[in-house]
Structure 1
């Protein structure tokens, strides 16, 4: 099972839940919960009053035989709705990117990226790959290595992050010549 991306120390956005609508099993260190949307709005107003610059984006969930989340509405009044907001402060963006003149856009990009990855985790869209070698003498496959926790099934993206450019993907039709002795 892949690690929950909300448990990663590299999260910059904070998810603010309304009425304990946690996704997954619990709330994480940098996430917050509020009794209702008025409390959440008061918190955001307080941030502004203290001079904290931030970007906030509403978060929506579609819950029907599973959970999927998005920064855009699902348009289904029965099984979906807004469950909170994600916020990212200028301070968090500067921490991630250095002195940033376009921090609002980067904050939105951070939120979009983190919510997209978290959604992939929640929906089970995670991938693992295994590398096998074939022994021509014994005619057996041996597991050489396994790596998981990828949130994309793009083979080039997965393999290049692990091997750089030092790999070749072969199709099933190309396996036979490698197996001949």
Structure 2
């Protein structure tokens, strides 16, 4: 077992928080958004069939592939048919991803998009019209999916082991994010 990054005694039990050595990719879970990325060294996001960003945006806009619109115009049209956010990657001694970009022009740039179509939103939320308020809620949800994926990329993944008298009585793995939140709370709950 790896060296714990946090250890404490709780109700006569020893709780150890440990980096998860083999976390599951959160993109393998059931996600609302589709994360489409293009990178020459990494396989990021979800599997897809698009050769490049133009092909994705053209498909989202339901246009012919030979349509001569700029990428900005395609993105603007795509926003009318989907909630779509750009994905940026910073690659320097590890990788990290967000939807807002990074301040380093040499080691960062846009690598793709995360989106959900309005048709899928109507189906998922059982609505006939996607309001601006719902679009904002969906955009926040997509940002959260990217943050969860970023925890996976940055190996911000943990598990816990609970011991009593040197015997393991509980363990659980696959916590993404700061260990002192949900992971530690679940470890303490397992003592009860």
**Which of residues 154, 157, 176 is equivalent to 1:123?**
154
Tell me the CA shift for residue 42 of structure 1. 1.6
Contact 2:89 2:97 survives alignment (8 Å): yes
Is residue 88 from structure 1 mapped to residue 104 from structure 2 by the alignment? no
Query: Which secondary structure does the structure 2 equivalent of 1:59 belong to?
Result: strand
1:11 and 2:6 equivalent?
A: no
User: Hey, what's the Cα distance between the residues in 1 that align with 2:179 and 2:26?
Assistant: 19
Distance 2:121 2:26 in 1: 18
Regions of 4+ moved over 6 Å: 47-50
1:90–1:36 CA distance, 2 compared to 1 (3 A): closer
1:35 is the counterpart of 2:66: no
Q: CA RMSD in A?
A: 3.1
1:45-64 alignment runs, 5 A limit: 45-46=61-62, 53-64=81-92
Shift of 1:109: 1.6
Residue aligning to 1:174: none
Q: Which runs of 5+ in 2 are unaligned?
A: 1-21, 64-73
Alpha-carbon distance between aligned partners in 2 of 1:157 and 1:82, rounded to the nearest angstrom: 31
RCO (CA 8 Å, sep 6+): is it higher in 1 or 2? Answer: 2
CA contact (8 A) 1:64 1:79 kept: yes
Matches within 5 A, 1:96-175: 96-99=124-127, 101=131, 102-134=133-165, 141-161=166-186
SS state at 1:3 partner:
coil
How far 1:33 moved relative to its partner?
4.9
* Residue number in structure 2 paired with 1:70: 98
User: Structure 1 unaligned runs (5+)?
Assistant: 135-140, 169-181
Query: Secondary structure in 2 aligned to 1:155?
Result: coil
State the secondary structure of the residue aligned to 2:156.
coil
**What TM-score, normalized to structure 1?**
0.70
